[in-house]
Every structure is written in C-alpha cells, then in structure tokens.
A and B are shown apart, each in its own frame.
Chain A
C-alpha cells in the first residue's frame, strides 16, 4: 500500500536534492536526506527514481520511459511489478505523488 491515495493520473516526482545516489556494480545505494535512511536499489527501481527526477510523470508515463531506457518489454517487466515498485519507493520516501490531474 502506498503512503497515500493515488490514481492512474497521479504525477510521481523524485526530488534530486533529497537524496544522494552512488552505483556499485549493478546496484545503487541511495541516501534519503529527509528520512536519514539508506536504500539499496536494483536497476529497475533506480531507473524509476532517475526518470522521476528528470521528468515527473504518471504511472503510465514512467512505465513507458523506464522500459524504453532499460530496453525491456511488458513481458520482462509487467505493469504490476512496476506499480508495486513505485509504491515501495513511495513508502520509503524516494518517490512521492506531486499532484492529481483530471486530464
């Protein structure tokens, strides 16, 4: 469950100033300044965060961009897996919903 309610139109944002990220081999260590916590991200969750920093978007926007960046298809990364990863990033404070849109 995410920290708060969200819809398919919720814009997800990651604030670059709120964390420090360093890559070691194929994983990423992220320090979240506001929570004071350290997180270990895999290539998928790291890409979600990077995409949400560069250009916040709704679940579908981020899903398309991340799959494109990682050269994956829906079979490699089902939307359910992607959504649960977004929710987990929300729970630990690395991603948050920016606003709701009726568009």
Chain B
C-alpha cells in the first residue's frame, strides 16, 4: 500500500481521526496510535510531522498508544489543560491546552523510555552517514540537540535527538526521526544554522522555558528503516564562554557512562550487556566540553574522520 504523508491528508479528517483515537503515525522504529480532542495538535502535526506517513484508521497493532487528553472533566472546560496518557502512569504535569504539542512529545518520549524492550535505549542524540552512526549522549542542557542538528547540516541523517535505539542482536542503532526538541538559546542558534522555515513556532512559558522543534527532513523519514553501525560516541557538555576541549575515553569509561544513560539496561539484562559491549568494541568515544557550536564541530569532524565516518 502506498504511503500517505500527513501533508497529503485533509485537516478535518485528521482531527476526526484523532478524536476517534484512530490516527496512526508510522515512523521508523515505532508506530503510534494517537488520540486527542486538541486542534492545536492538528496544526502541530501538519507543521512538524508533515512528511511522516500516517493512516486515518488503524492498520496494525501499534507500539505506542497515546491519548493527549484533559486530566479531568473540570479541566476540559475551565482553564483547559492536557496530559499525555500512554495507558500507564507517567510523571507528567498537566499543561495548558495550547501546549498540547509539548504533551504529545513528552508522552511519546515517555512511552519509548519506559516501555521499549526491543532495543537498548540510550538517552542520546543519534545521526548517521553512509559509513556509520554517531551517538551523542548527554543530560538535558548538554547540547546534544544542537550537535545533532549541526551534524544534520553536515549531511548526516537524523535518527533522533532523544534516543539511541541499539538493536539487541547487532551493534546497530535504529532511526526514530521525530522532530529535534530545542530549548532556550539553542532555538536561535539552530534557526540561524538551518533557516527559520525548518523550525516550528516557539511554545513559550513551558516548564522547560521556551521550546521549538526542528523538523526532520523528508530524506530522514524516507530512510527511517535503515539502521547504522555505531562508529563514534560523544559525551558533550556545554558551558558558556569555555574553550573547547576533548578527552578520548577508554572502552571501560564509555561502557560505564552508557549504562548510566540507558533507560532499560537493567530490564534487558544479559542481552543489553552483550549489545552494549559489542557496540563499544567498534566505536571511538570522546568527552567534549564546549561553549561554541562551530568550534565543537571542528573537533567532531576530526573525530568522525578518525572513526571512518
């Protein structure tokens, strides 16, 4: 069956499908069944997810089932709010209805982080070119989304800015090219880098401050089923006005850091241990501290070259 992209669909039909809880989003490693009564979500899907395949009626069993809904009847009408409801209890705060897109993104992230067992899941950005992949592991604010975007500008495919999804049977990461989440100062950096047309309108005054999304390119989405072997692992940390510096990490240091970064390592047990150690054997890893994206990218280009990317 030929794929229908969201941009090919009719807005009213999409909203109707969302209201009936039948809307199916098909993107790389995961498919999602979405439900919502929020028109804000329709606008968001037509903007940021416009090149993603979708169905108005469920075609298959999905990996994720997410309802972006009011937390209670009261908040449906009075100062309306929404929460992400993935069918299990999640630590998500109710948000004003106009922030439904943020609730959707949080819900999809939590569904992958807390319930995904097919992959060893790292909290990491991931990109790849034809020679292999780069995993960018770091806490929120470390600059992994900015680096992910900068590498996309160098011709790398977007896999994800949030999850490194490592296959359990081979040392390959799998794409899940959802939009890149940008916060605070990184929004203007990325707008300057890629052009304002590639970045969504900002959502202001969220619990994480200003948030905007850098849309995945159609080429990222078209190759969303093509995995890549990991060749380079970066652990960035961003600090204002600091000279860039880097330290090559031993395999042991790399493994210890990635165990900390994995959301389901303990759950997957021996399979996760084998997948992780196999991956690290074939990759070089660096700890990077930087205060300027371009200076950082100069180092990353050198490391990528040494890693055969």
Contacts and interface: CB of A to CB of B under 8 A. Distances in A.
A36 B269 contact: yes
B277 interface: yes
B259 A27 contact: no
Given A20-B274, A22-B277, A36 B252 contact: no
Contacts of A36: 266, 269-270
Chain A: interface residue count, which band? 10 to 19
B251 interface: yes
B270 A29 contact: no
Contacts of B259: 38
Given A29-B277, A38-B259, A24 B269 contact: no
A60 B91 CA distance: 53
B270 A24 contact: no
A40 B252 contact: yes
A33 B270 contact: yes
Interface in A54-75: none
Among B255, B265, B266: residue with most chain A CB under 10 A: B255
A31 B272 CA distance: 10
Interface string A28-42: 010101001010100
Contact of B270 (A20, A25, A27, A40): A20
Given A33-B269, A36-B269, A38-B259, A27 B252 contact: yes
A36 B280 CA distance: 20
A33 B272 CA distance: 12
B252 A25 contact: yes
A25 B251 CA distance: 7
Interface string A8-31: 000000000000101011010101
B256 interface: yes
Nearest to A19: B270
Contacts of A40: 252, 256
A29 B252 contact: yes
Given A22-B277, A38-B259, A31 B252 contact: no
Contacts of A24: 250-252, 255, 277, 280
A20 B277 CA distance: 11
A20 B256 CA distance: 16
B258 to A, nearest CB: 11
Contacts of A33: 269-270
Nearest to B277: A22
A50 to B, nearest CB: 18
Nearest to B268: A36
Nearest to B265: A38
B274 A29 contact: no
22 contacts: A20-B270, A20-B273, A20-B274, A22-B277, A24-B250, A24-B251, A24-B255, A24-B280, A25-B250, A25-B252, A27-B252, A29-B255, A29-B277, A31-B270, A31-B273, A31-B274, A33-B269, A33-B270, A36-B269, A38-B265, A38-B273, A40-B252
